[in-house]
Amino acid sequence: MSISVKNVSKSYKKVKALQDISFEVKPNELFGLIGPDGAGKTTLFRILTTLLFPNEGTATVSGFDVITDYKKIRKSVGYMPGKFSLYQDLTVEENLNFFATIFGTSIEENYDLIKDIYIQMEPFKNRRAGKLSGGMKQKLALCCALIHKPKVLFLDEPTTGVDPVSRKEFWDMLKRLQQKNITILVSTPYMDEAALCDRIALIQDGKILEIDTPEAIVKHFPKQIYNVRANNMYQLITCLNEYQHNHSVFPFGEFVHYTDSRKDFNPNELKLYLESKKLSDIEIEKTKATIEDTFMELAK
Amino acid sequence: MNRFIGFVKKEFYHIFRDRRSLFILFGMPIAQIMLFGFAITNEINNVDIAILDHSKDAVTQEIINKISASKYFSIKQLITREADIAPIFQKGHVKAVLNFEKDFSQKLIKAHGANVQIITDATDPNTANTISNYVNAILQQYQKEVNKEIVNSYQIVPQTRMVYNPELKSVYMFVPGVMTIILMLVSAMMTSISITREKELGTMEILLVSPLKPILVIVGKVFPYIFLSIINAIIIVVLSIFIFKMPVQGSLILLGMESVLFIITALALGILISTISATQQTAMMISLMGLMLPVILLSGFIFPITSMPLPLQIISNIIPAKWFIIIIKGIMLKGVGLQYIWKETLILIAMTIFFIALSVKKYKIRLE
Amino acid sequence: MNNSKVIQVTELTKMFGDFTAVNSITFEVKKGEIFGFLGANGAGKTTAMKMLIGISKPTSGKANVAGFDVFTQAEDIKKNIGYMSQKFALYDDLTVKENITFFGGIYGLSRKRIKEKSETLIKELGLEKVTNTLVGALPLGWKQKLSFSVSLIHDPKIVFLDEPTGGVDPITRRQFWEMIYKAAHQGTTIFVTTHYMDEAEYCDRVSIMVNGKIEALNTPKILKEQFKVDNMNDVFLKLARG
């Protein structure tokens, strides 16, 4: 196993940041840690990169224990902490050179690893990192984390706050990196990115809700979801919330994802109910569950 | 080794690209030295005084001439009545009034004593004191000359010599002190924010999850500032010699080496502060308050240590500045060599090693 | 729906030196509308919003908010709108009740009114048990809902929300949007910026800013038809790629 976490718990004074977390990441896997702010993602990352001690439990990275063999781990992993932590007043090239030198290598030595990403930044190589766009900064941070050909890559919310185009490009890069024999553990609050991982762990309030492949997780959704639409979103939500048989009512863009508490639910019944509430243009259709639906169902 | 060089390179980039730190590093010291040197002075020059001469004879005239000829005084006004004394002080035009009594020369010759009143504006007691001393000195000198001709005067004439600083030039007191303060403050402030800045920006996390050893980080951060502080020290010494005409009696090489030692001591102290501060603001506060005040008060810069109560004297021993001032005054003013200051030098070396060792120990290798 | 325009913007521009952050944008917002102001970080959304709420002076152009001119009547604008900033803008070291009382006071509410509003607010949000808890100790989602309610405490005509749902869990996000729907239903106009493209779907109309310019302005439905995609994220991708 590339990464192995067993019953890890961590508390800050009274706050339980992580509660009895266990999971494993296989070599060369692209593993996603999916959850909102405060779920415990960053705390977990810091424990795995040996920056924090767990209160309970054990963890190993590449076979090394995070407490006793921390030095070995620090030499061999790549780490991208959240929020653009590069040297803003150094240029792109200077940042890369610095990190390469610190790890006892050079840009040329592992150039093939970062080539695809670096080509996009090459026109800006003499620009200060602080003056790059959000998407560019993240790409630079990724290069700096990769420059010494780490075996395991830890990316803590690398796409938060970045525009959708750059986000997509970033994940394309991650997919390509997988083929170069690097294990990647990435955290994100964006549910749509979860679908791009090999396996994911859904985490909220320090607890893991479920671990599996994205497809399997979605299949586990216990009920049939219906897309419901009407002429007035607000009234629709209110009516559905008042409907006595509802199980979950969540707006999803132009529709509402509705699940019923009964096994033998007949959509027509719902339609009649809504019409009686003076709603019109009603549409009710079956739809597939998404990771977000599953997340909310598990978190309820 | 490569790692170390790469790290030092980065530190140099940071320093030169941050205008604020450049200003603190170079601008402040120059500004301070100029301020201290020109503005603060214990000497007096061209002080305006007024004369009330009730006698108007040859003796008073000669004394008045002597006073007028000295560069310390400038005779602004001659007043004629006692009643004029108070208003002239109130107006603030003069700082002293000399009041010669009637029949001055006759009393001097026949009664062996004539009175002259020296009235000074003591709203500034220091200046008043100095004025009064200087006038006295001039009077004593006149007396000596006059008495040379009188055979039967047995007098004990105290001869004071101000060794090393005969003119009591305040520059001699201030330059070593200010140099010490500047080197200490600038070096400590700069390094104290250096590590905390990495913590605040979040780059510390990346540095930790890397093969870099703590000692490399610490020494790497001290290194660039050594060079820059040396340049600072040179600028200060050059300014002192050429603008303030301060002599350097002793060996310039020894002065240079001791300065480098003190710079390293101050830098090490700054790094220590850095390892225990979480934010740059805290680090700056500690450097300013925790260092500046004790250095100014307890280093012997302004107030003599020997006149302080015993507990403070003991405390002053742990202040590196105290030892450096002794060293620097020794070299610049007394011209002594290493054999007289080896003890103080050794103390500084010991302090430096202690600060660096403590920094390495306190350097957090984890985030908690 | 009453069609009166509560926000009117004509060729509004903001330059910092020779960098144009907002480039001659023109649009209108109707009363009771939920208007989404989308764009990537750095596209100029926050700068534009700051001009509309009266805390930044435009370089050129015209704009009217709640009937007041942004150049000459900025202070009147501030009195008549609600604002929720990106970082939730509540005092972490004051309790829930103290925060409500404080902001009520700032908006000039009488003591009686503040008391009424406090009780209503706390009850609606289910915060009875944490009335005297420091806001800093509350979970993110609660803070955010409280912040939104506080921005409405003086019943403003328009409320400006700057990236209100950053980092919050999916359930709380939706609860938040239900609160927005309710406020809009009651006649408050909502001007919201976000970089979550799926939230764009909740809006009546959206505008998408790219590099300081408005490159698209319509209902989500029409935009999706126009770009032949089925979600707003893809609309943005197509737009950004040119």
Q: Which residue of A has its CA nearest to B211?
A: A75
Q: With a cut of 90, say whether residue C239 has pLDDT above it.
A: no
What is the C-alpha to C-alpha distance for residues B37 and B39, in angstroms, rounded to an integer? 6
What is the C-alpha to C-alpha distance for residues C203 and C196, in angstroms, rounded to an integer? 12
Which one has a higher pLDDT value, A223 or B305?
Answer: A223
DSSP classification of residue B112: S
Question: How confident is the model over A183-220, as pLDDT tens digits?
Answer: 999 999 888 899 999 999 999 999 999 999 999 999 98
HEC sequence for chain A: CCEEEEEEEEEECCEEEEEEEEEEECCCCEEEEECCCCCCHHHHHHHHCCCCCCCEEEEEECCEECCCCHHHHHHHEEEECCCCCCCCCCEHHHHHHHHHHHCCCCCCCCHHHHHHHHHHHHHHCCCEHHHCCHHHHHHHHHHHHHCCCCCEEEEECCCCCCCHHHHHHHHHHHHHHHCCCCEEEEEECCHHHHCCCCEEEEEECCEEEEEECHHHHHHCCCCCEEEEECCCHHHHHHHHHHCCCEEEEEEECCEEEEEECCCCCCHHHHHHHHHHCCCCCCEEEEECCCHHHHHHHHHC
Of A52, A90, A104, the CB nearest to B3: A104
Q: With a cut of 50, say whether residue B259 has pLDDT above it.
A: yes
Identify each DSSP E strand in C45-185 by its residue range.
60-65, 68-69, 81-84, 158-162
Q: What are phi and psi of B167, to 5 degrees?
A: -90, 10
C83 in helix, strand or coil? strand
* Tokens coding C81: 């709108």
What is the C-alpha to C-alpha distance for residues B40 and C28, in angstroms, rounded to an integer? 66
By CB atoms closer than 10 A (0-12, 13-18, 19+), residue B12 is middle
What is the C-alpha to C-alpha distance for residues B197 and A31, in angstroms, rounded to an integer? 33
- What residues 62-101 of chain B have any CB closer than 8 A to a CB of chain A? none
DSSP classification of residue C95: B
Q: What is the mean pLDDT of residues B59-70?
A: 88
The one-letter code for the residue type at C86 is Q
Chains contacting chain C through 3 or more C-beta pairs under 8 A:
A
Contact between residue B12 and residue B6 where contact means Cβ atoms under 8 Å apart: no
Instruction: Quote the distance between the C-alpha of residue C25 and its chain's center.
Output: 18
Rounded to 5 degrees, what angle do the CA atoms C71, C73, C76 make?
Answer: 145
- How far apart are the two ends of chain B, measured CA to CA in Å? 29
Contact between residue B198 and residue B364 where contact means Cβ atoms under 8 Å apart: no
Question: How confident is the model over A115-160, as pLDDT tens digits?
Answer: 888 888 889 889 999 888 888 888 999 999 999 999 999 999 998 8
* Tokens coding A55: 């209160």
Question: How confident is the model over A13-58, as pLDDT tens digits?
Answer: 878 999 999 999 999 999 999 998 888 999 999 999 999 999 999 9
Does C169 sit within 8 Å of A253, measured CB to CB?
no
Question: How confident is the model over B164-202, as pLDDT tens digits?
Answer: 665 556 666 677 777 888 888 788 888 888 888 888 888
Instruction: Quote the distance between the C-alpha of residue C168 and its chain's center.
Output: 16
Domains of chain B, start order: 47-163 (3.40.1710.10), 171-367 (no CATH)
C221/chain A closest Cα distance in angstroms: 8
B82 in helix, strand or coil? helix
Q: What is the mean pLDDT of residues C119-147?
A: 87
C144 in helix, strand or coil? helix
Predicted confidence at residue B165, as pLDDT, reads 60
Predicted confidence at residue C165, as pLDDT, reads 84
**With left for phi above 0 and alpha for psi between -120 and 50, is residue A226 left, alpha or beta?**
beta
By CB atoms closer than 10 A (0-12, 13-18, 19+), residue B364 is middle
Largest CA distance in chain C: 55
By CB atoms closer than 10 A (0-12, 13-18, 19+), residue C165 is buried
By CB atoms closer than 10 A (0-12, 13-18, 19+), residue C87 is exposed
Does C231 sit within 8 Å of A164, measured CB to CB?
no
pLDDT bin (cut points 50, 70, 90) of residue B38 is low
Range name among A221-225, B106-110, B219-223, C66-70 with the lowest pLDDT average:
B106-110
C174 touches chain A (CB under 8 A): yes
What is the C-alpha to C-alpha distance for residues C165 and B106, in angstroms, rounded to an integer? 100
Q: Which residue of C has its CA nearest to A36?
A: C169
pLDDT bin (cut points 50, 70, 90) of residue B274 is confident
DSSP B254-292: HHHHHHHHHHHHHHHHHHHHHHH-SSHHHHHHIIIIIII
pLDDT bin (cut points 50, 70, 90) of residue B31 is confident
Question: How confident is the model over B327-364, as pLDDT tens digits?
Answer: 888 888 778 888 888 888 999 999 999 998 998 888 88
A163/chain B closest Cα distance in angstroms: 22
DSSP C156-186: -SEEEEESTTTT--HHHHHHHHHHHHHHHHT
What is the C-alpha to C-alpha distance for residues A58 and A49, in angstroms, rounded to an integer? 13
Question: How confident is the model over C145-175, as pLDDT tens digits?
Answer: 899 999 999 999 999 998 888 778 888 889 8
Predicted confidence at residue B167, as pLDDT, reads 57
How confident is the prediction for chain A on average, in pLDDT? 91
How confident is the prediction for chain B on average, in pLDDT? 82
Give the sign of the dihedral formed by CA C199, CA C200, CA C203, CA C208: positive
What is the ipTM score, two decimals?
A: 0.83
Predicted confidence at residue A284, as pLDDT, reads 92
Does B368 sit within 8 Å of A89, measured CB to CB?
no
Residues from chain A that touch C237, judged by Cβ atoms under 8 A, are 164-165, 168
Q: Give kind and range of the element (H or E) at residue B210.
A: none
* A166-to-A190, C198, C209 alpha-carbon distances in Å: 14, 17, 16
Does C171 sit within 8 Å of A296, measured CB to CB?
yes
pLDDT bin (cut points 50, 70, 90) of residue C1 is very low
Q: What is the mean pLDDT of residues C195-209?
A: 88
Which one has a higher pLDDT value, B42 or A297?
Answer: A297
B22/chain A closest Cα distance in angstroms: 14
% of chain B surpassing 90 pLDDT: 5
Predicted confidence at residue C74, as pLDDT, reads 87
